[in-house]
């Protein structure tokens, strides 16, 4: 039996009888295609369930990079009480109470002192020198496992180790930014003896010796991450740090386009950047990936499609409709339907709103030509102007146009639009109340 076949059974009503195996299989959300076909220790699900009952799981170590993390470290480690047998702090010179609070939050904490080397991968790989058995779960100090998900990581790792004892792969819990997106391809868990090492000074991931991403399993265990809250980014200078590390990496690896991608993505402030600056950033990213042409191992080529998203976002900011059309088409071809649809819609809606706005202005320009014998038609024009102004966001024109229409004996349809809009707004308020 293949791994994917067992997962299909677990997701089918009455596919597997109740058991520890069946329960833990529900934690697996995704499996990379190159792992789905892996053979299992037995072709018989009932035998697998029986063997799993007596399976002895290997220990789990939580590895946390720290430096002056006294505010969050206790919550981070306490949340892992049911999932990690021990915690390893790779500490880069904390001068606050980080270590003391960590020891108080978890019963087994080891601290390794390591001066900061401007390289997140270096510090993550240090954990592999100090953990020789079981699993390593990499957790950032500003990440907290949700209380309702406590114990899920341990269960998922026990299951993975039992079903795939000889396979090399990584496990990805979900990390969700508070008030932001969720990330599923996190690659935060690996065996201590796995042939993978982290690479990249920043935005690091594990790779094999050739620089390719490992096979992956996604699990339903979710961390809440506060590190990208605007006030945290500002206070800790993350924008500047990530930009500097990306520039260092680009200097060392000038043929790797992802460092240009990361620098632009992490440092450009859309609120303050000028059109010229945005255009220059677009040209840099486009040129970097055109030169690389998606060639090479994952370590070099993995951000190509994400770069197309970034190029679309930059083009939106400086009004590059042709550029958006080009890269939205590439996103669609790559299966990124949501992003492609969004950017195409932005372009087309901008065009339509511009045309509607021009129609609003055209009616205003026609107003001096009003005469008694065309007053009834002018009333209908003002009624239409109010509707078009509402649809195009020209709100300052809506009420004056509606009043002009009413003064000329029209405006009923606009009044009906207002009443419908009031009902929609009331329903929206109830939904957010």
Kindly write down the DSSP assignment for every residue of 346-377, as one continuous string. Answer: HHHHHHHHHHHHHHHHHHHHHGGG--GGGHHH
What's the pLDDT at 416?
Answer: 87
Per-residue pLDDT tens digits for 212-248:
999 999 999 999 999 888 888 888 889 999 999 999 9
- CA distance linking residue 111 with residue 87, whole number of Å: 8
**What are 198's strand-pairing partners?**
206
- CA distance linking residue 125 with residue 130, whole number of Å: 9
Per-residue pLDDT tens digits for 313-360:
999 999 999 999 999 999 999 999 999 999 999 999 999 999 999 999
Split at pLDDT 50, 70, 90, the class of 415 is confident
Split at pLDDT 50, 70, 90, the class of 421 is confident
What's the pLDDT at 244?
Answer: 96
Q: What is the mean pLDDT of residues 124-140?
A: 96
Per-residue pLDDT tens digits for 54-113:
999 999 999 999 999 999 999 999 999 999 999 999 999 999 999 999 999 999 999 999
- CA distance linking residue 19 with residue 162, whole number of Å: 15
Coil, helix or strand at residue 332:
helix
What's the pLDDT at 328?
Answer: 97
Per-residue pLDDT tens digits for 246-263:
999 999 999 999 999 999
Percent of the chain with pLDDT over 90: 88
Split at pLDDT 50, 70, 90, the class of 294 is confident
Phi, psi of 205 (to 5 degrees): -140, 160
What's the pLDDT at 433?
Answer: 55
Specify the pTM: 0.88
- CA distance linking residue 83 with residue 78, whole number of Å: 10
What's the pLDDT at 229?
Answer: 81
Domains of the chain (ranges plus CATH)? 60-226 (3.90.550.10), 237-335 (no CATH), 353-432 (no CATH)
Length of the chain equals: 433
């Amino acid at each position: 039996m293949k791994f994917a076949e067992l997962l299909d059974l677990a997701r089918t009503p009455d596919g597997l009888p109740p058991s520890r195996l069946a329960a833990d299989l529900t934690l697996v959300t995704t499996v990379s295609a190159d792992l789905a076909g892996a053979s299992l220790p037995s072709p018989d699900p009932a035998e697998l369930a029986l063997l799993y009952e007596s399976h002895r799981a290997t220990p789990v170590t939580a590895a946390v990079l720290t430096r002056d993390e006294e505010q969050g470290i206790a919550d981070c480690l306490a949340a892992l009480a049911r999932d990690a047998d021990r915690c390893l702090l790779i500490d880069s010179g904390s001068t606050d109470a980080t270590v003391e609070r960590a020891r108080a939050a978890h019963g087994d904490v080891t601290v390794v002192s390591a001066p900061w080397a401007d390289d997140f991968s270096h510090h993550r790989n240090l954990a592999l020198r100090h953990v020789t058995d079981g699993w390593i779960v990499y957790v950032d100090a500003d990440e907290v496992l949700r209380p309702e998900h406590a114990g899920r990581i341990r269960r998922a790792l026990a299951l993975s180790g039992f079903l795939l004892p000889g396979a090399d792969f990584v496990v990805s819990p979900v990390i969700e930014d508070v008030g932001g997106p969720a990330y599923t391809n996190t690659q935060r868990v690996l065996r201590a003896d796995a042939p993978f090492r982290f690479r990249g000074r920043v935005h690091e991931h594990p790779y094999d010796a050739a620089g390719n991403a490992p096979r992956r399993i996604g699990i339903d265990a979710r961390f809440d991450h506060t590190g990208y809250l605007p006030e945290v980014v500002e206070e800790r200078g993350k924008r500047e740090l990530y930009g500097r590390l990306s520039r260092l990496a680009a200097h060392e690896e000038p043929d790797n386009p992802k460092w240009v991608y990361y620098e632009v993505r992490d440092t450009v402030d859309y609120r303050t950047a000028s059109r010229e600056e945005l255009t220059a950033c677009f040209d840099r990213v486009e040129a970097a990936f055109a030169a690389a042409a998606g060639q090479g191992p994952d370590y070099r080529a993995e951000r190509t499609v994400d770069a197309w998203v970034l190029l679309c976002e930059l083009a939106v900011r400086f009004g590059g409709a042709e550029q958006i059309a080009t890269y939205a088409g590439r996103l669609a071809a790559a299966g990124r339907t949501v992003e492609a649809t969004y950017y195409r819609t932005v372009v087309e809606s901008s065009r339509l709103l511009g045309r509607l706005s021009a129609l609003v202005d055209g009616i205003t320009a026609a107003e001096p030509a009003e005469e008694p014998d065309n007053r009834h038609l002018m009333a209908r024009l003002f009624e239409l102007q109010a509707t078009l102004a509402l649809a195009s966001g020209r709100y300052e024109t809506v009420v004056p146009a509606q009043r002009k229409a009413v003064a000329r004996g029209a405006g009923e349809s606009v009044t009906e639009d207002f009443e419908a809009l009031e009902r929609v707004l009331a329903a929206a308020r109830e939904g957010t109340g």
